[in-house]
Structures are given as structure tokens and as C-alpha cells.
Amino acid sequence: MKLPKVLEHEPLVDAVFEVRMGGNPQMADLLPGALFSLLAPKPKIQRLPAAEIPQPIRGNDPNLIFTPVIRLDWGEFTISFGDRNFVIACKLPYPKWSNFKEAILKIVEMVDQVGIPGPVERYSIKYVNLIQGPTLADQISKINLTVRVGEVDAKDDHLSVQVHRREGDTLHIISVVTGARGKLANGEIVFGAVVDVDSIRATSFSDFGSFAAKLEPAVETLRQANKLKFFNCLTEETISEMGPKYD
């Protein structure tokens, strides 16, 4: 499938990159201050609600281990830190993949300079898109999707579908939810179907430096795999409505 380089009418509402580590790297304690001193311009620091929960409790609760406790607001991006992970997210409007990738590699390089201990368990890219449609039937018609349960052929219904697809060392979690409400970068409230593709790649790097050294080509292939999964979720008519531009 030939993928568009850019879309004139961008449906994206969220884009994030995450790294998770094993052991006890204490990332929320070490990284915010270190990156604050390295980043230019200087980011704003925000303490998140999970920071009020003591670290021993967070560390023993599977629902809290990767919950961000500190966030840096830095230009077009935010960088959030949990005890064993950090997340780089794009602000809207989406700054395009080339700028997002540059920020990812820059921040990962800085984290490597700090010298976080422990193995890298996984990294991931997640893109969330809102495919606009005034009715449920319109939304479903825009998705390359057929759902039938018993005698019910879902064509104008509320849907919540999730598929886990493993390909080699990568797990793609594809979610489709109709009847969603969202806000565009210009503040406009729109309705449509959410198409969410979370691409997670397991790793076996024993230290962060080895991971950082090989990230550039790896994150590019992960992004392309994520992008392919997204466009395969759409009909040709839906892609055409977005104003695709190809090389």
C-alpha cells in the first residue's frame, strides 16, 4: 500500500512515544531535573496528581507503576515521567513525523547522558485519530470494518472494537470506537470514530545506552508499521477526503 507523505486534513488528535524499563530506575526522581538543565528553551515543570501517592505504593500497584508523576512542557511537546517510564507527546497541531522523530532522538540522547540504570523492556508509538462523521452510520462507513454478532449486522450502532495483532517482536493494538467527541487544534468540537493504533516493540537491551544507539532506524520502522496499520483501517474514499499528498 502506498502511504501518503502528509494529509491536508489531519485527523490526528494525539501522538505519543514511550519507553519502559525494568528494575528500579527511579526515572521520576532523576530525569525531570536533569532534562530541565539540558533542554532549551527551558521547559515548565508540572507535578501531576499521581505524585501525591507514595512511591512504594505506586511501585507495588500494577495500575500505577507507569503512571506519570512529573511533566515537562517543552515547546511543541510534553515529556512525562513515571517511576519506570517516560512519555513524549505532541501538542496540536501535530508537528509532523520528522519533527516528532527529531525530538524523540534528542530526548533519548539526553536520557542516555543522565545514565539511567536497568534494562529497556519495550518502546512504543501510539497515534490516535478522529475520523469525522455526523452519524454512527457515516462513521462506520468510513472505516474498513465489518462487525456482525449473531443476527446483528453493526452498521449504525455504537461500537468498541479492539484487535491485538502480533507481528514478530511488535504488538499492534488497534482500537475503533464510534460516537466519540473531540476537540481539534483550532478548538472546534467534532464528532466521529476514534481509530487508535498502539504499536509496542519488546526489546532485550540490558542498558539504556545500547538502546539509544540503535533507536534511529528502529523507531522509523515502528512508525511506518504503525502508519500502515492506520491507513489499512480506512476506506479509499476516506483517505481521499483527507487530502493525501504522496512523494
Q: What are 152's strand-pairing partners?
A: 149
Burial of 21-50, coded b for 16+ CB within 10 Å and e otherwise, reads beeebbbbebbbeebbeebeeebeeeeeee
For 19-44, the pLDDT digits (tens) are 999 988 889 999 999 999 999 999 99
pLDDT at 8: 93
Smallest Cα–Cα separation from 241: which of 165, 158, 118, 129? 129
**154 DSSP 8-state letter:** -
User: Where are the chain's structural domains?
Assistant: 11-245
pLDDT at 24: 86
What's the chain's length in residues?
247
Measured in degrees and rounded to the nearest 5, phi and psi for residue 130 equal: -115, 110
Tell me which residues of the chain have a pLDDT lower than 70. Answer: none
